[in-house]
Amino acid sequence: MVEKISKSHEDYLEAIVELGGTTKSAVRSVDVAASMGVSKASVNKAIAVLKEGGLLDQPYYGDITLTKAGFDYGTAVLERHHLLYTFLTKALGIDEKTADEEACIMEHAISDKSYKKWRDYIKKLDLD
Amino acid sequence: MVEKISKSHEDYLEAIVELGGTTKSAVRSVDVAASMGVSKASVNKAIAVLKEGGLLDQPYYGDITLTKAGFDYGTAVLERHHLLYTFLTKALGIDEKTADEEACIMEHAISDKSYKKWRDYIKKLDLD
DNA sequence: CTAAAAAGTTATCCTAAACTAACAATGTGC
DNA sequence: GCACATTGTTAGTTTAGGATAACTTTTTAG
């Protein structure tokens, strides 16, 4: 059973996965900060919490690697984002910038059970 | 042009409309608190900000009435909620409780332009 | 190999949004 | 019409999540 974390922390995990972070491939704090548009101090604080929760590792002054749990969590958020983005752009015809912004908020709303239904529904639409 | 307000304040306006608040029909603070599951102190503080923003009126120790702008804003949020709820339950087959919870988050993500596209899309589905 | 740049850390502060508790105003039942 | 319950207000506290600034550590250029 995965512990539920805040939207903000979900965003951090998502960004790390998007930057190529895995259990093997490390990511730098400064890149997370740049990609999210937040200060490195904010990243540092979020990292401490996620580390505490067993979602990632970071040695003192070192780079960030995800744990299995952290990678799975971040990947799940990213998948929801992609799914919603596809639906908003392809099914509804919303422009890319708007779709991305709106997917960013909606991605935090979708439970595992709902995600599967969304996925099946979109698969049936057979978009492009 | 409508001023964008916080998700939290959108929730207050939505709740007031849901309780029957209009420019004519007043709503009591205590009912807003009960329906949202927050303290009356929290309602009081939110009301002060919404009043400041011209979205509602409340005399000292009096009931809440919405302004035209406040009613329109609250109604718009509520419409998005209903639309999403319908989509989640009817199109995706998500259970009512989950759909309501997830619509509560997603409703804050949808811009005016996107709302129209969602509405047209769902109309075409011809649900129930 | 060392000076400077870059990256990570820490301390402190700010804001939004909630809470509790105490107080003030209003409304109701007898 | 007064006592008491209900409702609204205010003050002070907490927590999450951001920021800046100063400092430490690491990396890199020459």
- φ/ψ bin of B119: left (φ > 0), alpha (ψ from -120 to 50), beta (otherwise): alpha
Per-residue pLDDT tens over the stretch B86-100: 999 999 999 999 999
How far apart, in Å, are the Cα atoms of A47 and each of A9, A19, A31, A77?
9, 15, 13, 17
CA of B95 to C1' of D9 (A): 40
Is any atom of strand C within 7 angstroms of residue B44's beta carbon? no
Q: A22 vs chain B: nearest CA distance in angstroms?
A: 29
Q: Token pair for residue B82?
A: 């209903």
Per-residue pLDDT tens over the stretch A98-123: 999 999 999 999 999 999 999 999 99
Rounded to whole angstroms, the Cα distance separating A65 from A70 reads 9
- Count of A-B CB contacts under 8 Å: 48
Q: What is the model's pTM?
A: 0.94
For the cut 80, the answer to whether the pLDDT of residue A2 exceeds it is no
Fill in the DSSP letter of residue A55: S
pLDDT confidence of B126, banded at 50, 70, 90? confident
For the cut 70, the answer to whether the pLDDT of residue A91 exceeds it is yes
| Chain B interface with A: residues with Cβ < 8 Å | 88, 91-94, 98, 101-102, 104-106, 108-111, 113-114, 117-118, 121
CA of B29 to C1' of D8 (A): 8
Rounded to whole angstroms, the Cα distance separating B72 from B55 reads 9
> Considering chain A, what is the average pLDDT of its residues?
96
Nearest to A81 by CA among A55, A100, A98: A100
Nearest to B80 by CA among B114, B126, B30, B44: B114
User: Residue closest to D8, CA→C1'?
Assistant: B61
Instruction: Supply the pLDDT for residue B128.
Output: 62
Chain A residue closest in CA terms to B119: A92
Q: Token pair for residue A27?
A: 């990511």
